[in-house]
Structure 1
Amino acid sequence: MKYIYVAIGSISLVLGVIGIFLPILPTTPFLLLSAALFFRGSPRLYTWLLAHKYLGPYIRSFREDRAIPLRAKIISVSLLWITAIHCVLFLFPYWWLKGIMAVVTIGVTIYILSFKTRSPR
């Protein structure tokens, strides 16, 4: 069972890292899932993930006070909207596809902004 936890945790970690660069894919939920699975499957990987210079703060911040840093909010919402506008204007030929993209973009924006903003420590 530990191998399954580590395998799924690794896939979740890859998706979380991809989510840093792709605004439609959420980062924090995948990293939280990775942490939970690594906790059950490999204490060494769990410790590594929490101590990671870039990924660890996402997890620790969210677990401690369910807050997202202001910089992360600004970057994620900005990239989300830039990507969505590009897709709607240049890639999607059908109005219904443009509508779905708009609804998803608005929903993800509301979701991101619904979390508290973490104050600098």
Structure 2
Amino acid sequence: MTGIKRYLYLALGWFSLVTGVIGIFVPLLPTTPLVLLAAWCFSKSSQRFHDWLLNHKYFGPIVRDWQSADGIPRKTRNRALIFMWCGMGLSMILVWRFWATVGLIAIGTAVSWHLLRMPLRNETVLHDEDNKR
């Protein structure tokens, strides 16, 4: 990978992570997708930062859940769907533009379809594995 491309990925990763942290406090600014984007960017640019993010107390579980082939917990999936649709519903009401509403419904439907097709992880097995560590 060229040096410029690596630095662009690194800059996008940090921008995404900082924006995701801001999203914790600002309604309608998503945190999880931005943290996942940061992890992907770091995986392309800096193994050190990628490892740091994987081992982070708060962001590590988000990234590890997404990267694992075991799927996501049902509770997490359902919570993501509820918050996503509530946030988009509020946006549709506040913006009240036909094309914005159509766009939000299309994006929400696509993301919902993706989340509903993801495998669900057996949470009891995960807790047993965590207790062994």
- Same fold (TM > 0.5): yes
The structural deviation recorded for 1:26 is: 7.4
Q: 1:14 aligns with which of 4, 14, 18?
A: 18
Structure number having the greater strand percentage? 1
1:105 counterpart = 2:85: no
- Superposed CA RMSD: 3.0
- Superposed, which structure 2 residues align to 1:1-121 within 5 Å? 1=3, 2-17=6-21, 18=23, 25=30, 27-28=32-33, 30-65=34-69, 67-88=71-92, 90-120=93-123, 121=126
The structural deviation recorded for 1:40 is: 4.7
The structural deviation recorded for 1:23 is: 6.3
| Residues 115 and 7 of structure 1, relative CA distance in 2, 3 Å threshold | same
Cα distance between partner residues in 2 of 1:92 and 1:46: 37
Q: How many residue pairs align between the two structures? A: 119
Letter in 1 for 2:71: A
Is this contact kept in 2: 1:24–1:80, CA < 8 A? no
Is this contact kept in 1: 2:20–2:29, CA < 8 A? no
Question: What TM-score do the two structures reach when normalised by structure 1?
Answer: 0.71
Structure 1 SS opposite 2:72: strand
Cα distance between partner residues in 2 of 1:67 and 1:23: 25
Question: What TM-score do the two structures reach when normalised by structure 2?
Answer: 0.66
Is this contact kept in 2: 1:61–1:67, CA < 8 A? yes
The structural deviation recorded for 1:77 is: 0.7
Structure 2 SS opposite 1:34: helix
Letter in 1 for 2:80: S
| Residues 48 and 103 of structure 1, relative CA distance in 2, 3 Å threshold | same
Cα distance between partner residues in 2 of 1:113 and 1:66: 15
Is this contact kept in 2: 1:23–1:77, CA < 8 A? no
Cα distance between partner residues in 2 of 1:106 and 1:3: 34
- Identical pairs, percent: 28
